[in-house]
Structure 1
Amino acid sequence: MANGGGGGGGSSGGGGGGGGSSLRMSSNIHANHLSLDASSSSSSSSSSSSSSSSSSSSSVHEPKMDALIIPVTMEVPCDSRGQRMWWAFLASSMVTFFGGLFIILLWRTLKYLWTVCCHCGGKTKEAQKINNGSSQADGTLKPVDEKEEAVAAEVGWMTSVKDWAGVMISAQTLTGRVLVVLVFALSIGALVIYFIDSSNPIESCQNFYKDFTLQIDMAFNVFFLLYFGLRFIAANDKLWFWLEVNSVVDFFTVPPVFVSVYLNRSWLGLRFLRALRLIQFSEILQFLNILKTSNSIKLVNLLSIFISTWLTAAGFIHLVENSGDPWENFQNNQALTYWECVYLLMVTMSTVGYGDVYAKTTLGRLFMVFFILGGLAMFASYVPEIIELIGNRKKYGGSYSAVSGRKHIVVCGHITLESVSNFLKDFLHKDRDDVNVEIVFLHNISPNLELEALFKRHFTQVEFYQGSVLNPHDLARVKIESADACLILANKYCADPDAEDASNIMRVISIKNYHPKIRIITQMLQYHNKAHLLNIPSWNWKEGDDAICLAELKLGFIAQSCLAQGLSTMLANLFSMRSFIKIEEDTWQKYYLEGVSNEMYTEYLSSAFVGLSFPTVCELCFVKLKLLMIAIEYKSANRESRILINPGNHLKIQEGTLGFFIASDAKEVKRAFFYCKACHDDITDPKRIKKCGCKRLIYFEDEQPSTLSPKKKQRNGGMRNSPNSSPKLMRHDPLLIPGNDQIDNMDSNVKKYDSTGMFHWCAAKEIEKVILTRSEAAMTVLSGHVVVCIFGDVSSALIGLRNLVMPLRASNFHYHELKHIVFVGSIEYLKREWETLHNFPKVSILPGTPLSRADLRAVNINLCDMCVILSANQNNIDDTSLQDKECILASLNIKSMQFDDSIGVLQANSQGFTPPGMDRSSPDNSPVHGMLRQPSITTGVNIPIITELVNDTNVQFLDQDDDDDPDTELYLTQPFACGTAFAVSVLDSLMSATYFNDNILTLIRTLVTGGATPELEALIAEENALRGGYSTPQTLANRDRCRVAQLALLDGPFADLGDGGCYGDLFCKALKTYNMLCFGIYRLRDAHLSTPSQCTKRYVITNPPYEFELVPTDLIFCLMQFDHNAGQSRASLSHSSHSSQSSSKKSSSVHSIPSTANRQNRPKSRESRDKQKYVQEERL
């Protein structure tokens, strides 16, 4: 090659025969396309090979193909003349493609002709067989059969090979999946080699034995060739196989590699077509089980198509622009790198077109014209869809990573800002000490901005993941198998409670199916739906599975308020975690909030209490440890565990007894566990009671390793998994032996109680027999009864009134103590509820409406012990402020009523209560003095009312004279503190309380349901009604259980303590003398004021301290024992019917202790009138 020629020399000349200095490749790709002109040909006459073809003068305007040369080196003597041979590479691909296509078409044509000929010949032979005889036919059949067997054998062999090849290339087997993934990986490897080689000239001489990338590319293509053969064998339609994209890619990439080895030269050519293999990327990921969702598959598909088209088009532009147009003798080429071409294609597709890089060749521009049409359409459709898919990708779609040494729970179901905030406020309360539990929320809807902000505020303990518990994949994401528990929240305000319960039951089924051992605590709205949980095989309440039925507990709380007004507020505050709010002023809020700070805790009792009776331990805890113990857990090796509330002095405590305490802090409850008589007997400050080193305590700790730090039994095994922690209680109760009255009750022909002995029972009655007209109700002269005002119609959801009646029909009441229940409401609705009520005695129905004053006067609402206002239509209204309109209107209607004083004398139908153990016959031995007479009610404000609310903020409308702010929390409002309002939202705290201590729910249910047990629930699930049973010693023994009552201080044996006495003295006296356990006060709101006209409203004080001063008008909440002898005579035990809203008036569960002398001096006419009224009640 001439040095400094006008053709563009960049290379130095050599000696004769081309054996001079070696030619160096220029880094500029344009150096590959040198041409010889006239001046360069004359100056290079000494060159041996190049001058022979250009000795005559030639012009640049007359280009010739053979005048083009490529750089030649001595190490790679691919061509002595240096001519380009791109056509050889392209021809190998074209010949392979069209040659194979021609062979396939020729084969199909011949096969078609052969089939036609054979078909015609077959018809001729068949005609000959019909014409010939059977003997000739037998002679000709044999060779035909042999031929058919040979053809069948050949077809079978070919089919087997074809099936084998199909299995090898499919992803149905492990070998097929490995092969498919390997082919894709090698294709990407070949594409990477192309990216590397794209920095070299388009065509250059390469030595196969020295070029490492060419050797790798050769190995890859040999594998592609073998895989192509497998695909060809497995293809059913060879023609379509030959024309598909992957086959075309192989045609234009595999043969040129073999040509490169033969010619010792390399040509980039169409190797960029390997980028089309990226289209199969989503299939590969599906084979590897990486892509599972439709959105992810679609996203990967769009990305792979877009990127593969982009890279392939860039490769074509790179080829034609660096080569030039063939008809221009490749003189109009330009030097562009591959990545510049990628940039050019992107700005072209996006219609930006900066103009800094553009196509110069005609082929390049022609390609760009068509590419703009397709590329612009693809860019405009694919890119927005890709962005949308990425934008719609779940923000909370990750997986939970468990932290070593830290438990986590999964919360699902109804996840809203209200439900989550209420749950977190109680679960993460500071009074729970160190809550080393992480909360994982799982919901199928992403949180809104407010809920997201709430999660961020608790980011150290809360995580949210989007998904469904019905999807096993989502359960695996939140590590449900290692979770400590799963909590399912319900929508308390849904329009269809049964549908909501069905959804939660399905969640339980899904979770239990995925991991049967997981502990589940779920909220249920309807009591009858709890039976469906028993159908789940892995549901086991003994292992911690609990269903918190909101209707059961809500109506149970309300029922207990009928027996002791204000108890619903006290119990709701006990299992809710509330911080202490200190108020300096001497107001009712100060004492109320001091009680609100108390909660329910459990702790194992110290060995110092072993051998002591329950009242003795209870008194010691209250006086010395400043703790109120109300119950213990009884559990033996051969009996189921049960909770005994105030069991009495017949019970002796043994090792490992679990006690239930009311205290303001978990640290205070530890005193019961650390107490040592030797070390702490002389300590007066309970805060100094700490862990000591006595042998007794050490021994107890060794025996009970799980109780070293039980706190509130925070899910660390607890009683359920500790067989050695079962308390062994010795019962020496003579009352358990049936007395004369109990033996008299054992009548084999009379069923007075249900089969469990827990509730009063009667034969089923038709609803027509209990319906009262307005005149009949007025003539009955009802008094000391419970009026239930209910709003509902034929389409309303059922409330479950059985849960309201059952606690009022508990068997620990004697029959004459049962309060008559009168329902006032729509008869159509009550007919739907009656199936669950027809086995309870003393129930009547007045069809009407609670808004009718005539109906209310007919049932003597001014003489009732409690008026309950319920609504079944609350969840059918979208506006939350109007959900409670019926209940609020009914409450205001009753409060505005006025009554005549002429019937006030009827209130004296009841007398007082004499605690067990007091001498009723001798007035000399009785410490009581006189009987309390009750004035009549002249205004509806003094009628005891409890109203159910759905929306907490509507409580402001119940009392028009209070000063509650609309934003005040429910528990701080006056109606709730007074026990006249109850909202289902207060039950939300039971979820976290049950998780930390699974005995709390059992205790609450024992207190409020009147004795409902899991066995009773299983029985109701079978028959949907209580079953009557004959009285036996075992069933009658079930009556021996505590009940809640209110004790009056205005008169009776505690009257001396009522005027300035200490609450602690009252506590000890009641406990020692009558086995009555006091736990709260129901005080007049303005008792601390010395004004003559005090307000009749009362409020609740929970667990007051020992030195708390009492006033005469106080009513004391107490747990009283069952009196076996009270049923012998109605005169020995009766209830006073009066309103606790009055300063001198107490509800029917308020018990005074009258003297026998006063009772004997009662006028005969009064006794006759009481007797007539009692007969009327018995008839009802």
Structure 2
Amino acid sequence: MSNNINANNLNTDSSSSPVNVPKMDALIIPVTMEVPCDSRGQRMWWAFLASSMVTFFGGLFIILLWRTLKYLWTVCCHCGVKNKEAQKINGGGDTQADGACKPTDEKEENVAAEVGWMTSVKDWAGVMISAQTLTGRVLVVLVFALSIGALVIYFIDSSNPIESCQNFYKDFTLQIDMAFNVFFLLYFGLRFIAANDKLWFWLEVNSVVDFFTVPPVFVSVYLNRSWLGLRFLRALRLIQFSEILQFLNILKTSNSIKLVNLCSIFISTWLTAAGFIHLVENSGDPWENFQNNQPLTYWECVYLLMVTMSTVGYGDVYAKTTLGRLFMVFFILGGLAMFASYVPEIIELIGNRKKYGGSYSAVSGRKHIVVCGHITLESVSNFLKDFLHKDRDDVNVEIVFLHNISPNLELEALFKRHFTQVEFYQGSVLNPHDLARVKIESADACLILANKYCADPDAEDASNIMRVISIKNYHPKIRIITQMLQYHNKAHLLNIPSWNWKEGDDAICLAELKLGFIAQSCLAPGLSTMLANLFSMRSFIKIEEDTWQKYYLEGVANEMYTEYLSSAFVGLSFPAVCELVFAKLKLLMIAIEYKSEKRESRSRKRILINPGNHVKIQEGTLGFFIASDAKEVKRAFFYCKACHDDITDPKRIKKCGCKRLEDEQPSTLSPKKKQRNGGMRNSPNSSPKLMRHDPLLIPGNEQIDNMDANVKKYDSTGMFHWCPAKDIEKVILTRSEAAMTVLSGHVVVCIFGDVKSALIGLRNLVMPLRASNFHYHELKHIVFVGSLEYLRREWETLHNFPKVSILPGTPLSRADLRAVNINLCDMCVILSANQNNIDDASLQDKECILASLNIKSMQFDDSIGVLQANSQGFTPPGMDRSSPDNSPVHGLLRQPSITTGANIPIITELVNDSNVQFLDQDDDDDPDTELYLTQPFACGTAFAVSVLDSLMSATYFNDNILTLIRTLVTGGATPELEALIAEENALRGGYSTPQTLANRDRCRVAQLALYDGPFADLGDGGCYGDLFCKALKTYNMLCFGIYRLRDAHLSTPSQCTKRYVITNPPYEFELVPTDLIFCLMQFDHNAGQSRASLSHSSHSSYSSSKKSSSVHSIPSTANRPNRTKTRDSREKQNATRMNRMGQAEKKWFTDEPDNAYPRNIQIKPMSTHMANQINQYKSTSSLIPPIREVEDEC
């Protein structure tokens, strides 16, 4: 067919003829009047391709030629330098050499200047394209965006023929493409200048893309033609997509970068291959004169490549050209391999994408807290059970858990059950990005849970401290409540600058509180159970039958709440308000937040526990109540004397129409109003004591005046008894020495541990037992039975406490236990430092359980008990016959003699709650029963650290709760003392100033016996409410519970001596004579004078008086004025004390050395009667055999 055939005629003929005529439109381009083109319709694709090939190979040739010439020049110069060096060595031609060197030096200077200029240009170009600068990042992102734009233009043009005539001035897409490629050309020049290796740069993928896409655009403008050609190569720019996202700080994790890389490589390869198939299939084979082409759209080619890579091959679309088929052969090899490797990996990365990797969306009007640290099924379930308890007010707080490990199926199911209030996000608080995801800056608080069962407590504390540092570094104002395992690690929190108790930061030390609970049980058995139940949210379980569980569970339903007092109570004394609230509102108030009116107190608030009748209620006073739910406590806020005075049903006490100022005061229980006042947290003034230099608040001023200020009996804060540091060798007892020692009414601490065991902090156990609100003779002697190697490690924190002894041995040895008279002890404490070193949870408590069962199975001779009973007239230690009839006493009520170990008071520490079933072999507890429902826990003979989990949520809702519980169980530890211990790791002795001695005037927990004394008439069938009011009015004692025999409800007498705890009984609760009453007892300044009446006539009477550590008389109000007689007896004591110090005989267990009392002590003149008593004491003391005393000389 001739070349001059008109294209229009050809199209007409081909469309009308039934005969298949070879298509020639691939050879001919339609000619229109608007587009000047070759009238013959000849294709010019070779011109476009030639421009790219010439550019590529021409530049490659120039680079290689330049490298060759440079190499030859370097070789020649190297040879010339060698010749010059040879001439210098031979020594000839020195003058000519010098003359020849000058032009060479000038050339080198010129070359150096030229190199410096080229280097500057190269550096400038490198900065322009570097992503390290803002300009470079903008340029890189702009090039990528324009490349994608050019690819989009290609997609649009792909619907047109492969080659067509276009006018540059009228084609808008061609103009845009031209502008893009001009920018690409400039960017190519910058890259070329900045490249260190020009050859490798020329062969880069991005350079090849520019070679085959930029020059054809300029050819299009010159020829007024458009050829799709290799413009599809712009799809290869998608490979840099992940780099662009990293420049924009969008991709940060390795998984996301890898995922984007795989997807971009896969897609770019797919689109590029589809573009090549589209080109060859629509053009045809050149050797076939382009007659075997087929019309395929670009997206059909994309489809063809996908079914080819996936090996499906439906056959509906396939390649017809030889070039297309040849390309498909090679593409199947690479595409199949890529599809088989990339697609599964992409799916795996998408499937493994963090399920909990989103961000928290804060809800307006709703607070949220962040919980992190040790997130497990047990810790989370315990936390949620207490935090979301129904007895609280409406908890409008969302809980956001943040942990770096995804939850297991059980924990995930727990989150789903509470999905309306709980969310989980996977991440770490050490990562600021994860903190931003959970909106830590807007969180109400951050709670950090600790792993109580870890093998290395110090490492766990260090991890939590690092979490605190990370959170405080991200947001210094966030409130943090963290759990700590070891007491000494609390000091590290003080090193964090933004750690501030005034803003609500609190550290709940589990070791401190756990051992404090146990120590209080040594003073008042069962108190640990009562306090643990008070600070935990328990639902009421009703039991109809008359069993001990019925009364126990009624008390378990009580919790601790706070509420502002109504203005109706303003001006009344604390005991009067307590009586009114208990009798009329059916509430028990144990403490208030008091604001002193003295100027020196600076109007700071303090928590006062049963302060006495000298404290008057002020406006807006916050009260601490024991009640079954928060709604009941509202009665104290709503009470109005005018409206509610004649109401007998407390449920009818609701908000009245009277105008009261406290309507503006919201409850502190609800999380809607958190207490953020600086003086209300664990500040030095938040401890439960008054400003001691206020003379109106110190009942015993006269006693303070007589104290010798030069005697160091207490620590520098006046909160604990103190003695100079003792060497451990002086307190070690052998078994024979212990057997010869009078040990009675003491505390035996059985401790399991060795050199490698983690320290449990025995100081926290001893400190409450050495509180200064006990008189010296009231202190119970403490005997540690355990490994000497372990106790040596603990001794550094114990050497300043008096009345401490050590018996090296093992608690499993009955000989050691008999040597310390365990049958005569007031309490036996069983602890273990090896509990967390065992993987099997059921075996963690094996040592403590074995020791407990060993003690309970022991049998004792009754001869000692008979002697003691005879000397005391068969009076149990709970009641001294010599005490006045109107003076109630408290103490551990033991039988006159103990013949079996089952009657020895024991408290055992457990790690695993389920192991409580092994402590009592005669109980009927189900193994699946919760700890607080078991008999050992209800009786106060078992304690587990898990009960302290509830303090996290209790502290969040009411930050005064933690201060209150620390005051009750630690004996009065203050932030000043903690700071001192952080500096010196030991107590510092202080002089007895009126200020420090006044710190002794604080409440303590005691037990009141009912079978004798002023309350005996109420013990037999009396009413608990009458006892409450009488004790409060007469002795300022605040009763808050009963320790009752387990079988007291039975009509037949029982030999069982087990007791259980009843918390806050109702007013009409009936009492029995064997009940022991928990009470908050005022400090008695006169009780210390009982030392003057100690008898030294016989060993039995002496030991009986020594056992008075369990017997403390509480003076009645009538005894207060008789202070003149007290002074005389006090002077006698001082003289007797000085006489004892002069004796040279050595005394065992003496905690005060000879220089404890300075020689310049002023002694007041003694009367004749006093001197006669002293001489009588000397004569009788010489007849006493040298028996080792269990109590130190005071």
TM above 0.5: yes
TM-score norm. by structure 2 comes to 0.86
Contact kept? 1:1137, 1:1148, Cα under 8 Å: no
Identity of aligned residues (%): 96
Cα offset, 1:316, TM superposition? 1.1
Partner Cα separation in structure 2 for residue 722 and residue 158 of structure 1: 69
Instruction: Give 3-state SS (helix, strand or coil) of 1:430's partner.
Output: coil
Cα offset, 1:1041, TM superposition? 0.5
The superposition leaves residues 390-422 of structure 1 with CA deviations (integer Å, 9 ceiling, x where unpaired) of: 222211111111111211111111000000000
The superposition leaves residues 250-301 of structure 1 with CA deviations (integer Å, 9 ceiling, x where unpaired) of: 1111111122222222211111110110111111111111111122112111
- Structure 1 pair 735–780 and aligned structure 2 pair: CA distance change class (3 A): farther
Taking the TM superposition and a 5 Å limit, the aligned residue runs for 1:583-662 are 583-635=543-595, 641-662=605-626
- Range 209-218 or range 850-859, more displaced: 209-218
Cα offset, 1:787, TM superposition? 1.0
Find the counterpart in structure 1 of residue 796 from structure 2: 835
- Structure 1 pair 599–674 and aligned structure 2 pair: CA distance change class (3 A): same
- Structure 1 pair 961–772 and aligned structure 2 pair: CA distance change class (3 A): same
Contact kept? 2:502, 2:676, Cα under 8 Å: no
Contact kept? 1:636, 1:727, Cα under 8 Å: no
Cα offset, 1:653, TM superposition? 2.0
Partner Cα separation in structure 1 for residue 876 and residue 570 of structure 2: 28
- Range 512-521 or range 714-723, more displaced: 714-723
Contact kept? 1:910, 1:1136, Cα under 8 Å: no
Contact kept? 2:891, 2:1008, Cα under 8 Å: no
Contact kept? 1:808, 1:1010, Cα under 8 Å: yes
Cα offset, 1:798, TM superposition? 1.0
Partner Cα separation in structure 1 for residue 953 and residue 772 of structure 2: 31
- Structure 1 pair 96–1063 and aligned structure 2 pair: CA distance change class (3 A): same
Cα offset, 1:130, TM superposition? 11
Contact kept? 2:888, 2:1015, Cα under 8 Å: no
Cα offset, 1:192, TM superposition? 1.3
Instruction: Give 3-state SS (helix, strand or coil) of 1:678's partner.
Output: helix
- Range 877-886 or range 380-389, more displaced: 380-389
Contact kept? 2:430, 2:467, Cα under 8 Å: yes
Partner Cα separation in structure 1 for residue 624 and residue 817 of structure 2: 42
Cα offset, 1:305, TM superposition? 1.2
Q: Does 1:490 align with 2:462?
A: no
Cα offset, 1:58, TM superposition? 18
Contact kept? 1:1136, 1:1146, Cα under 8 Å: no
Instruction: Give 3-state SS (helix, strand or coil) of 1:1044's partner.
Output: strand
Partner Cα separation in structure 1 for residue 790 and residue 841 of structure 2: 23
Cα offset, 1:191, TM superposition? 0.9
Partner Cα separation in structure 1 for residue 4 and residue 689 of structure 2: 97
Cα offset, 1:1126, TM superposition? 0.8
Contact kept? 2:396, 2:671, Cα under 8 Å: no
Partner Cα separation in structure 2 for residue 706 and residue 1166 of structure 1: 48
Instruction: Give 3-state SS (helix, strand or coil) of 2:10's partner.
Output: coil
Partner Cα separation in structure 2 for residue 33 and residue 540 of structure 1: 94
Cα offset, 1:919, TM superposition? 15
- Range 571-580 or range 773-782, more displaced: 773-782
Contact kept? 1:349, 1:376, Cα under 8 Å: yes
Contact kept? 1:791, 1:871, Cα under 8 Å: yes
Cα offset, 1:726, TM superposition? 14
The superposition leaves residues 47-105 of structure 1 with CA deviations (integer Å, 9 ceiling, x where unpaired) of: xxxxxxxx999999999999932333333241211122211111111111111222222
- Structure 1 pair 932–374 and aligned structure 2 pair: CA distance change class (3 A): closer
- Structure 1 pair 1156–358 and aligned structure 2 pair: CA distance change class (3 A): closer
The superposition leaves residues 719-745 of structure 1 with CA deviations (integer Å, 9 ceiling, x where unpaired) of: 569999999989998686695884587
Partner Cα separation in structure 2 for residue 808 and residue 1134 of structure 1: 25
Cα offset, 1:873, TM superposition? 1.0
- Structure 1 pair 958–652 and aligned structure 2 pair: CA distance change class (3 A): same
The superposition leaves residues 1150-1175 of structure 1 with CA deviations (integer Å, 9 ceiling, x where unpaired) of: 76889999999999999999xxxxxx
Instruction: Give 3-state SS (helix, strand or coil) of 2:423's partner.
Output: strand
Find the counterpart in structure 1 of residue 240 from structure 2: 280
Contact kept? 1:646, 1:1119, Cα under 8 Å: yes
- Structure 1 pair 1154–1098 and aligned structure 2 pair: CA distance change class (3 A): farther
Cα offset, 1:1140, TM superposition? 23
Contact kept? 1:588, 1:1085, Cα under 8 Å: yes
Aligned match for 2:650, one of 675, 686, 704: 686
The superposition leaves residues 181-213 of structure 1 with CA deviations (integer Å, 9 ceiling, x where unpaired) of: 111011111111112222222222223333332
Cα offset, 1:242, TM superposition? 1.3
Taking the TM superposition and a 5 Å limit, the aligned residue runs for 1:820-899 are 820-899=781-860
- Structure 1 pair 933–951 and aligned structure 2 pair: CA distance change class (3 A): closer
Instruction: Give 3-state SS (helix, strand or coil) of 1:253's partner.
Output: helix
Taking the TM superposition and a 5 Å limit, the aligned residue runs for 1:877-956 are 877-908=838-869, 934-956=895-917
TM-score norm. by structure 1 comes to 0.87
- Range 921-930 or range 342-351, more displaced: 921-930
- Structure 1 pair 912–1131 and aligned structure 2 pair: CA distance change class (3 A): farther
Aligned match for 1:66, one of 14, 22, 25: 25
- Range 472-481 or range 272-281, more displaced: 472-481
- Structure 1 pair 924–133 and aligned structure 2 pair: CA distance change class (3 A): closer
- Structure 1 pair 99–136 and aligned structure 2 pair: CA distance change class (3 A): closer
Partner Cα separation in structure 1 for residue 720 and residue 1083 of structure 2: 14
- Range 1128-1137 or range 899-908, more displaced: 1128-1137
- Structure 1 pair 82–649 and aligned structure 2 pair: CA distance change class (3 A): same
Cα offset, 1:36, TM superposition? 13
Instruction: Give 3-state SS (helix, strand or coil) of 1:558's partner.
Output: helix
Contact kept? 1:955, 1:970, Cα under 8 Å: yes
The superposition leaves residues 524-563 of structure 1 with CA deviations (integer Å, 9 ceiling, x where unpaired) of: 1111111111111211223211111111100100010011
- Structure 1 pair 450–370 and aligned structure 2 pair: CA distance change class (3 A): same
Contact kept? 2:587, 2:626, Cα under 8 Å: yes
Contact kept? 1:202, 1:267, Cα under 8 Å: yes
Contact kept? 2:787, 2:809, Cα under 8 Å: yes
Cα offset, 1:924, TM superposition? 9.0
Contact kept? 2:877, 2:893, Cα under 8 Å: no
Cα offset, 1:457, TM superposition? 1.0
Partner Cα separation in structure 2 for residue 600 and residue 959 of structure 1: 30
Find the counterpart in structure 2 of residue 78 from structure 1: 37
Cα offset, 1:123, TM superposition? 7.1
- Structure 1 pair 117–929 and aligned structure 2 pair: CA distance change class (3 A): closer
Aligned match for 2:968, one of 990, 1007, 1011: 1007
The superposition leaves residues 668-715 of structure 1 with CA deviations (integer Å, 9 ceiling, x where unpaired) of: 222222222222222222222223343443xxx487578797888577
Contact kept? 2:689, 2:999, Cα under 8 Å: no
Instruction: Give 3-state SS (helix, strand or coil) of 1:965's partner.
Output: coil
- Range 136-145 or range 740-749, more displaced: 136-145
- Structure 1 pair 331–642 and aligned structure 2 pair: CA distance change class (3 A): same
The superposition leaves residues 913-949 of structure 1 with CA deviations (integer Å, 9 ceiling, x where unpaired) of: 9999999999798899999995311222111111111
Find the counterpart in structure 2 of residue 48 from structure 1: none
Partner Cα separation in structure 2 for residue 1145 and residue 1029 of structure 1: 27
Contact kept? 1:526, 1:551, Cα under 8 Å: yes
The superposition leaves residues 324-375 of structure 1 with CA deviations (integer Å, 9 ceiling, x where unpaired) of: 2111112222222222222222222223333333222221222122222222
- Structure 1 pair 594–558 and aligned structure 2 pair: CA distance change class (3 A): same
- Structure 1 pair 135–656 and aligned structure 2 pair: CA distance change class (3 A): farther
Find the counterpart in structure 2 of residue 564 from structure 1: 524
- Range 791-800 or range 64-73, more displaced: 64-73
Structure 2 runs not aligned, ≥5 long: 1131-1189
Partner Cα separation in structure 2 for residue 297 and residue 931 of structure 1: 69
Contact kept? 1:863, 1:1138, Cα under 8 Å: no
The superposition leaves residues 931-975 of structure 1 with CA deviations (integer Å, 9 ceiling, x where unpaired) of: 999531122211111111111111111111211111111111111
- What number of residue pairs does the alignment pair up? 1130
Instruction: Give 3-state SS (helix, strand or coil) of 1:947's partner.
Output: strand
Contact kept? 1:524, 1:550, Cα under 8 Å: yes
Partner Cα separation in structure 2 for residue 996 and residue 153 of structure 1: 76
Partner Cα separation in structure 2 for residue 180 and residue 382 of structure 1: 27
- Structure 1 pair 462–910 and aligned structure 2 pair: CA distance change class (3 A): farther
- Structure 1 pair 127–1003 and aligned structure 2 pair: CA distance change class (3 A): same
- Structure 1 pair 706–573 and aligned structure 2 pair: CA distance change class (3 A): closer
Partner Cα separation in structure 2 for residue 266 and residue 102 of structure 1: 28
Contact kept? 2:608, 2:688, Cα under 8 Å: no
Task: Calculate the aligned-residue CA RMSD, in Å.
Answer: 5.4
Contact kept? 1:400, 1:479, Cα under 8 Å: yes
- Structure 1 pair 716–90 and aligned structure 2 pair: CA distance change class (3 A): farther
Partner Cα separation in structure 1 for residue 224 and residue 906 of structure 2: 104
The superposition leaves residues 857-899 of structure 1 with CA deviations (integer Å, 9 ceiling, x where unpaired) of: 2211111111111111111111111111111111111112222
Aligned match for 1:403, one of 337, 359, 363: 363
Partner Cα separation in structure 2 for residue 551 and residue 455 of structure 1: 30
